[in-house]
Amino acid sequence: MITPTRLTRTALSTALTLALLPLTSQAAPSRAAAYFERVATFPVYRNLGADEDASKQTVAEITAVSRDGRTLIYTDSPGERIGLVDIRDPKNPQPAGFVQLEGEPTSVAVHQHYALVAVNTSLSFAQPDGVLAVFDIRNPAQPKRVATLPMGGQPDSIAISPRGRYGAVAIENERDEDRNDGLLPQLPAGYLRIVDLKGQPSRWQTRDVDLTGLADIAPNDPEPEYVSINDHDIAAVTLQENNHVVLVDLRRGRVLRHFSAGQVDLEGVDVEENDRIQPVGVLKDKRREPDAIAWVGPLVATANEGDYEDADGETGGSRGFTLFDYTGQVWHDAGVSLEHAFIRAGHYPESRSENKGIEPEGIASASFRQQDFLFVGSERGNAVAVYDVARPWAPVMHQLLPTGMGPEGILPIPSRNLLVVSSEEDSAEDGYRSTLSIYQYGASKANYPEIRSTDRDLIPWGALSGLVADRTQADRLYAVPDSYYKASRIFNIDTSKTPAVIDGQIELRKAGKTVDYDLEGIAQAGNGDFWLASEGNGKAKPNLLIRASANGEVLAEYALPKDVAAQQTSNGFEGVSVVGEGTSTRVYVAFQREWKNDPAGKVRIGVFNPSSGEWGFVHYPLDAAPEGAWVGLSELTSIGNGQFLVIERDNQQGPAAEVKRLYRIDLSGIQPVAEGQAFPLVNKRLERDLLPELKSTGGWVLDKVEGAAVDKLGRLFVVTDNDGVEDASGETRFMRLGTVKR
């Protein structure tokens, strides 16, 4: 728990006196803090037994750690069990098995050598019930159940007081969202259950604290969501749907204070799901509706997810976090700053714009080497923001950490300089799995993001699918997004900075109107014009080569001849390159996968002559695909003298990823031929296996390695496509891979 810092504001000092929170210590002066660095990602399906189907859904939602910091315990609600992971070596976590339960685990905490698991055993929403299952975990390989305490209702969050005197369980008795449109009240009401942790678990006593009659919204039906306890045994409890915060004296078992979480006005947010990130909207009087809560010195911080729509159709979702004092006075509100940070990092989920944007859900605080931090997790943005809270009323963003999909639990482990984030989204069919991300504190710099947009302007970006270097400037690249976003554009990238900075954008226009291409490749002609490859779908949307001026005006579109276009079966144009000037100009385009008349394992590269309109083709031999996968091309980059770099990749991610390779081909002595003839076959030479670099940051290996560029100095850059943060983590790798011999 963060050491309380002496504050000067009279109002807060008075409130803290009332709260029995004397500010008796002065926080250490803030020093240059180190950074968190991801060292491992553990997919929790690895905990499945040898006789279980590896595609079975299994999730990690809330995580706790044993007293010695060596074993993680996480809740797996679909499997009605808790999972254990051995992190003696945090860079190489190992599965440690499951413990089956009688219902759905909702939360877990550790007290001494016991794991306390809140278990929902409700028969229905109208008949909520649950227990607190207590396990002796001195031998983590064989947890032993030593007590079962009835909770009298459906438990949600559980917390242990820092001094180990009390446990507190939020008995939510959650509403049925399908009943009466999910409106409150829906009795029975929730409450807080205190567990007196005295003696053996079988002898622990419980007490209840009534939370009715406090909130303005549905006062007779409080739904406590999350609980956090400070050094003075005061529990802070969120009533999310009631938009309320309650402070409870655990020793006396009574409410000390309570206050509304209030509303917030937001300017500069995206409020329309139109396949464009347009942070220009205004939201007024949005209820904060806090989910997780954490003590930050003498203040409480709430993650304001927003989760409830009332009878008037009003919803929460303030897209940030807030720090309150004991009286409910707001000392800091993130406003739009958190969401804008996610936009700049490419982590904004446009598909959630009409709802709750990035949806902050998890929050935690801790001190690492006398540095005070607040961690705020975004359920939809798939990242955790780390704030320096040396002055808790004025948090300063320290770094952003990429996570798996749907980060829920945030677990600081200061004793081992570790942070663990559990991400609960799991779908083997779609290629992503629930994970535990492990970060170590002590890095000299922040490794993520590797690319972001400038602080000067708010430039939204994502789904980068093609990359090219400027022909004259050594530190200038251009990138394009694919069809995930409408209003196609070209991003300007400054590589002289780390992270690389998107410092401008060029909106493509045709006859004065925006255009919606599926851009998969970009090249630059000698006169500064751009050549772009737009992928077709084999139906109404054709594959196109597009020539655009340096300011984004579409000058011409070139489609494939009809007899060629008729061969398309699936994936079309990908990377594009242009060589030569004037009548000697040739545009090269990579086709991602085989078409109808292509032999298996051979994909075409097209060569277009803009002066004559003629097309010719060669065949490129693909590597063998892993079982159940496919392999195709993603990029084509000219490096001079008829030589090109080609990205060849499979469609697999995580541990299943095998083929992420950069090959070199030489087309200088090969004559492309027209459709209907036998295409010449090119030879390829492995330039670099990209898989080690993709694994080097300890994350989930990304599947879509999409863009490559070689600048004037011969430096190689490779970028991944984050799929617009939809059914994807949103992480973008912008890899600097040394120099390439031309």
> 33 by DSSP, 3-state: which?
coil
Q: Are 720 and 702 in contact (CB under 8 A)?
A: yes
Tokens of 552: 């984004």
The β-bridge partners of 493 are 477, 502
Q: What strands, in cross-sheet order, belong to the sheet with 464-469?
A: 451-453, 500-507, 489-494, 476-481, 464-469
Q: Identify which of 624, 548, 558, 545 has the alpha carbon closest to the alpha carbon of residue 591.
A: 545
Secondary structure letter of residue 48 according to DSSP: S
Tokens of 397: 């963003």
Token look-up 């004991």 returns 326
Token look-up 């390989």 returns 141
Burial class from Cβ neighbours inside 10 Å (0-12, 13-18, 19+) for residue 407 reads buried
Token look-up 């709750």 returns 356
Q: How many CA atoms lie within 13 A of 325 on its CB side?
A: 22
Helix (H), strand (E) at residue 695: helix 691-695
Contacts (Cβ under 8 Å, ≥6 apart) of 17: none
Tokens of 94: 């190992």
pLDDT of residue 610: 97
CA distance readout (Å), 307 to 190, 402, 472: 17, 24, 51
* pTM above threshold 0.85: yes
Dihedral angle over CA of 240, 243, 245, 246, nearest 10 = -90
CA distance 615 to 522: 19
- For residue range 439-474, list pLDDT tens digits in order: 999 999 999 999 999 999 999 999 999 999 999 999
- For residue range 73-132, list pLDDT tens digits in order: 999 999 999 999 999 999 999 999 999 999 999 999 999 999 999 999 999 999 999 999
pLDDT of residue 20: 36
Q: Are 736 and 713 in contact (CB under 8 A)?
A: no
Phi, psi of 151 (to 5 degrees): -105, -15
Helix (H), strand (E) at residue 467: strand 464-469
Does residue 51 sit within a domain? no
Does residue 735 sit within a domain? yes
Contacts (Cβ under 8 Å, ≥6 apart) of 388: 30, 33, 371, 372, 373, 395, 396, 397, 398
Token look-up 């010695």 returns 68
pLDDT of residue 537: 86
Domain count, the chain: 1
Q: What is the DSSP string of 686-725?
A: EEEE-HHHHHTTSSPPPS-EEEEEE-TT-EEEEEE--GGG
Tokens of 391: 């002055």
Contacts (Cβ under 8 Å, ≥6 apart) of 716: 645, 688, 708, 709, 710, 736, 737, 738, 739, 740
Q: Are 244 and 291 in contact (CB under 8 A)?
A: no
Q: Identify which of 419, 366, 412, 373 has the alpha carbon closest to the alpha carbon of residue 396.
A: 373
Strand 451-453 and strand 500-507: the pairing is parallel
Tokens of 220: 């007779």
Does residue 525 sit within a domain? yes
Token look-up 């609980």 returns 227
Q: How many CA atoms lie within 13 A of 679 on its CB side?
A: 24
Q: Identify which of 499, 387, 435, 443 has the alpha carbon closest to the alpha carbon of residue 40.
A: 435
What is the domain range of residue 495? Answer: 452-739
Tokens of 398: 């320290």
CATH number of the domain encompassing residue 697:
2.120.10
Q: What strands, in cross-sheet order, belong to the sheet with 320-324?
A: 293-296, 299-304, 320-324, 330-333
Does residue 30 sit within a domain? no
The β-bridge partners of 105 are 119
Does residue 66 sit within a domain? no
Q: Are 119 and 100 in contact (CB under 8 A)?
A: no
Q: Are 353 and 344 in contact (CB under 8 A)?
A: no
Q: Are 462 and 346 in contact (CB under 8 A)?
A: yes
CA distance readout (Å), 51 to 47, 55, 82, 142, 402: 11, 12, 18, 19, 32
Tokens of 317: 């979702």
CA distance 133 to 151: 10
Does residue 211 sit within a domain? no
What region does 376 belong to: left with phi over 0, alpha with psi -120 to 50, or beta? beta
State the CB neighbour count (10 A cutoff) for residue 54: 13
Q: How many CA atoms lie within 13 A of 208 on its CB side?
A: 14
Helix (H), strand (E) at residue 12: helix 10-18
Q: Identify the segments of the chain with pLDDT beneath 50.
A: 1-30
Does residue 399 sit within a domain? no
Does residue 489 sit within a domain? yes
Q: Identify which of 723, 722, 724, 741 has the alpha carbon closest to the alpha carbon of residue 733.
A: 722
Long-range contacts of 689-693 (CB under 8 A, 24+ apart): 689/660, 689/661, 689/662, 690/647, 690/660, 690/661, 690/662, 690/718, 690/735, 690/737, 691/657, 691/658, 691/660, 691/661, 693/718, 693/733, 693/735, 693/737
